[in-house]
Structure 1
Amino acid sequence: MISDRKLEHLEICKNYDVEHHRTTGFEDIELIHRSLPEVNFDEIDTSIEFLGKKLDTPLIISAITGGHEASKEINESLAIATENTNIAMGVGSQRAGITNPELTDTFTIVRDKAPHATIIGNIGAPQVEYANGAIEMLDCD
């Protein structure tokens, strides 16, 4: 069952060492401090336009979870953060919510908690015929 696999993904990440053991190399980079006291931080604009909507910064919380009741709280927390910071968010594969309507709330919680945010749906290529349903489920952008 798809929802069982979704739960297994969460449990693996919670209970096992899944992080890559090689580093990005950023620890070997030292930035030279060049103070810019004449720059007014209030005049710095990090916003971008993405999918026709303005984001405060070019960041996206990307395709993490959904499809099992245990994932609902995670999506809720991420959606609140998304709404509060005006960044975009993508959900995990919506296949489980499309094939089992009892699981749609693990995805719709995102739009409920982030009514103004840019939300990105997620459906696999084999389920492309369900794309419109995935978009409607989240009122995606």
Structure 2
Amino acid sequence: MKNKYLIVCLFLMPIWLACQKDEVEDTTPPVARVELPTNNTMYYRGNTLMFTGYFTDDVELKECTFYLSQGLKAARGWDEVWEPDAQTFPLSGLEDELIEQYLFELMIPNEIKSGDYVLKVLTVDKALNYSTTEIPIQIK
């Protein structure tokens, strides 16, 4: 009797395994389309650094993180280079957007060096694929 069950199980096992849905691994990085700021946008100390962008992924978005760093040209002035902490926003679905989102602080501090900076946007999906977009900006 046990042998009958064993034979039936051995016969049905390959059929059951073949019918299971194959999981497709997500290897495609998400895409960020930045509309604001545009390359080399001029900002003045005391203004607001605004961002507008659209994000897409083939499976599921997770988040985007913003970084600001000094550009290749030396910053000018006696004050410190503006190095705000990274800022992360959650994303979801296949498409998401951030519209007129201020970044880092409400206003660009007055006591920073003016010069070239680079805004980096790191976009990550649920499978931890990522893409990076860099936008050069100027602060006076």
Fold match, TM over 0.5? no
Give the structure with the larger strand fraction.
Answer: 2
Larger Cα Rg: Structure 1 or Structure 2?
A: 2
TM range (shorter): under 0.3
TM-score (norm. length: structure 1): 0.25
Q: Greater relative contact order (Cα 8 A, min sep 6): structure 1 or 2?
A: 2
Give the structure with the larger helix fraction.
Answer: 1
TM-score (norm. length: structure 2): 0.25
